[in-house]
Amino acid sequence: MFHRTVFNRLRATPNSKWCSHVSTSELSTIGSRSRGSVSKKKPPDTKFVQKKRSGRTRCFSVHSNGSLCKLSIAGIQQKKLDEKYISMVTAYDYTSALLADRAGFDILLVGDSLGMVQLGYDGTEKVTMDDMLHHCKAVSRTSKNSFLIGDLPFGSYLNVDDAVQNACRLVKEGGMDAVKLEGGTRVERSIAAIVDSGIPVQGHIGLTPQTATQLGGFKVQGKTAEAAVGLYEDAMALQKAGCFSIVLECVPERVATEITQSLDIPTIGIGAGRGTNGQVQVFHDVIGMYDRLQPKFAKQYVNTSDIICDALSSYREEIETARFPDESHVFKIKDTQFESFRYAAGLTVFEHDGNMY
């Protein structure tokens, strides 16, 4: 009964404007990248979303003229209004950014998951600003078509000043279009300050890996009515603080769908079911390249670990059996040059006046 009253009160709260912290016109100044007009429509209705899902509706960043190019913040938000799904994947270096860019993703996230899949840590807590900048630079050097978001690592936004300063570094030095940070009401002041400094912010609530220990481990969040209300309130606070979108990680599908429908800004789900406005996955999970953790929500589309391992084993075997390199891999030198070289280096034996030299 108590919960129903709370839910009704929360429902009765009118939806904030397009983005309550800033008006639509201000939105186009948040980061010089935000351009384009936004028309306000009803948010997607669940049934419609799910029907489209089962019909495998897909949406790439193909622009009206058919070409692939980078979406603006307004363009990303417009996808929610147009009931089109936002596609996002992580990328950490030249190779992954190139491939993800070519595959046509709306957003590439230089996630602090790089601590696990690139640096071999058990979690994300040890990732530093220097680590993030190193990888952000590689991705921004490479990707031309996707909107780029860089994660603020653990400890880099403990107070408002640090948050603004480090967000600026990810944009100025790392070449990111926006930053993402984890947390709900606890970080709303930092988010508002970063947005005020001109940098678009993506929020991240639910399972927040940087503080997973505090959450009792890598667990689904929002499974009780009370916890779900907490998530709802966090989501509303992030929207109010000026986030242009929110990642919902490991949240029951129905809770994520309700939150999505209550927000004006888009949600991107990871383990949050089918009712969010987009999906994000870790690159290495999608291509089957990380063997230490296989979360239930991850879908492996190919097992590149096996393919790569087979290729490496074949290479090793060919070295050991002298089958690599073969004729096609070697470089040639003209006979005359070769003989001169052997003569000059004293490697050749020749006869002169009956003497052997």
Catalytically active residues are 249
Distance CA 347, CA 339 (A): 9
In terms of CB distance, is 126 or 196 closer to ligand KIV?
126
Binding mask 177-216 for ligand KIV (x = CB under 6 A): ---------------------------x------------
Q: How far is the CB of 50 from ligand KIV (least distance, A)?
A: 22
Q: Sign of dihedral through CA atoms 188, 190, 191, 197?
A: positive
Q: Which of 31, 44, 111, 288 binds ligand KIV (CB under 6 A)?
A: 111
In terms of CB distance, is 18 or 92 closer to ligand KIV?
92
Tell whether residue 234 is a contact of ligand KIV (CB under 6 A): no
Select from 58-66, 109-117, 170-178, 194-202 the region that touches ligand KIV (CB under 6 A): 109-117
DSSP state of 62: B
Tell whether residue 282 is a contact of ligand KIV (CB under 6 A): yes
Tell whether residue 113 is a contact of ligand KIV (CB under 6 A): yes
Tokens of 301: 């589309």
Q: How far is the CB of 270 from ligand KIV (least distance, A)?
A: 5
Select from 21-29, 111-119, 137-145, 233-241 the region that touches ligand KIV (CB under 6 A): 111-119
In terms of CB distance, is 90 or 166 closer to ligand KIV?
90
Q: Which of 107, 194, 247, 255 binds ligand KIV (CB under 6 A)?
A: 247
Tell whether residue 270 is a contact of ligand KIV (CB under 6 A): yes
Residues 39-78 that bind ligand KIV (CB under 6 A): none
Tokens of 343: 């003569």
Distance CA 108, CA 280 (A): 9
Q: How far is the CB of 116 from ligand KIV (least distance, A)?
A: 9
In terms of CB distance, is 19 or 280 closer to ligand KIV?
280
In terms of CB distance, is 7 or 274 closer to ligand KIV?
274
Distance CA 158, CA 57 (A): 40
In terms of CB distance, is 153 or 175 closer to ligand KIV?
153
Q: Which of 101, 131, 151, 177 binds ligand KIV (CB under 6 A)?
A: 151
Size of the residue set binding ligand KIV (CB under 6 A):
12
Q: Sign of dihedral through CA atoms 160, 268, 5, 43?
A: positive
Distance CA 251, CA 271 (A): 6
In terms of CB distance, is 28 or 239 closer to ligand KIV?
239
- 125, HSE (Cβ side, Cα atoms, 13 Å): 6
Q: Which of 90, 142, 260, 279 binds ligand KIV (CB under 6 A)?
A: 90
DSSP one-letter string for 138-194:
HHHHH-SSSEEEEEPPTTS-SSHHHHHHHHHHHHHTT--SEEEEEBSGGGHHHHHHH
Q: How far is the CB of 29 from ligand KIV (least distance, A)?
A: 27
Select from 33-41, 78-86, 104-112, 140-148 the region that touches ligand KIV (CB under 6 A): 104-112
Q: How far is the CB of 295 from ligand KIV (least distance, A)?
A: 9
Q: Which residue, judged by CB position, is nearest to ligand KIV in the bound state?
A: 111
Tokens of 173: 């030095």
Tell whether residue 96 is a contact of ligand KIV (CB under 6 A): no
CB 270 within 8 A of CB 250: yes
The shares of helix, strand and coil residues in the chain, as percent rounded to the nearest 5, are: 40, 15, 45
Tokens of 96: 């992954």
DSSP one-letter string for 286-355:
HTT---S---TT---S--HHHHHHHHHHHHHHHHHTT-SS-GGG-----HHHHHHHHHHTT----EETTE
Strands 147-151 and 351-352: unpaired
Binding residues for ligand KIV (CB under 6 A): 90, 109, 111-113, 151, 204, 247, 249, 270, 280, 282
